Amino acid sequence: MSDQGPPEEVVVTLDGRPRPAVVLAREGDRVQVRYRQAGGFEERWVPASTVVPVESRTGAPTPARLAKLAGLGLVGLLGLALLLWPGGSDKPLLDTSPTPTPSAAPSPTSSPSPTPQVVSAVLFGDSLTAGKNDPPGTRTALEVAASALHWQYVVRAQRSTGWTTSPSYADRLAREVTTAPTVLLLQGGASDTGASAAQLTRAVTTAVTALRKRFPATRLVLVGPVAMEQPPDPGLVRVDRTLAAAAKALRVTYVDPIPWITAANAQSYLSPQGFYPNPAGHAYLGAKLTAVLRALEVSP
């Protein structure tokens, strides 16, 4: 990074509160940032709209930047924040403490703008969420939906895994999801066609029960398997119906994607290698998932 100059210092709103961070990469309307977390560091892709630049290293803060910082109530915080870099030394986000800027008194007729609610999400799943046979940079269906809903999300996906496989989703969730998100999308089922309905129901019940104990305020959403090849594989249809019944019994939101792929559109959205969606398929499935999640009021 030395050849590119100092990293860009920003403030990003994560899990409902601002954090000092640095920009690692930018891609379209999202930004990859690194921030301090529980004594270490975490990297995450977030919507660009949630990232506020701090100031230029060689000049004073611009009025536009100060306005954004003042709107977030971070002018005082930024002068104290420190970010620990992998090189080993504590590095201040700001070279000098900013001078407080007096704010104009609101007019009698003005009302404060509502603060948008920040939604943190974990996109958990199998090959569909991880991406398979996709060109580099392809967003999977769940990422398309999370971006459209302006969620701050992380992906926790592993190919060829499922509710009843080894490792099971219950085991993976215990290891891979350690902090409570606002929303947890649990996608899968394609690897569970060899399990009986009883085995699959028991596995889903175990995982959901454990999640509710750990994260009682998190909104859980189950997303079933996608049948890209038509007619749908009977095993996938059976898994879909079992997951739907289990979700209903557990009072968990369930999204059924099987009807989204039909004989009329399958070839347009099917990967050349078969079974998985191509980039156009991910975009299409992501748009359908976005509409369903909005209708279910999963996202504010």
Q: Which of 16, 118, 97 is nearest to 55 (CA)?
A: 97
The amino acid that residue 254 corresponds to is Y
According to DSSP, residue 205 is labeled H
Domain boundaries, the chain: 2-92, 120-295
Domain 120-295 has CATH 3.30.70.270: no
Write down the pLDDT at residue 133: 79
Write down the pLDDT at residue 4: 52
Token digits of residue 228: 């890209």
Write down the pLDDT at residue 299: 60
Question: At a CB cut-off of 8 Å and minimum separation 6, what does 298 contact?
Answer: 183, 219, 221, 253
Token digits of residue 192: 């569970």
Fold of 2-92: SH3 type barrels. (2.30.30)
Q: Which of 65, 5, 14 is nearest to 43 (CA)?
A: 14
**Selected residue with higher pLDDT from 115 and 272:** 272
At residue 232, does pLDDT exceed 50? yes
At residue 264, does pLDDT exceed 60? yes
At residue 162, does pLDDT exceed 80? yes
Q: What's the pLDDT tens digit per position in 103-122?
A: 555 555 555 656 668 999 99
Write down the pLDDT at residue 110: 54
Q: Where is average pLDDT lowest: 17-21, 80-84, 259-263? A: 80-84
Average pLDDT over all residues of the chain? 81
What does each C-alpha distance from 199 to 77, 161, 164, 293 come to in angstroms?
51, 15, 7, 28
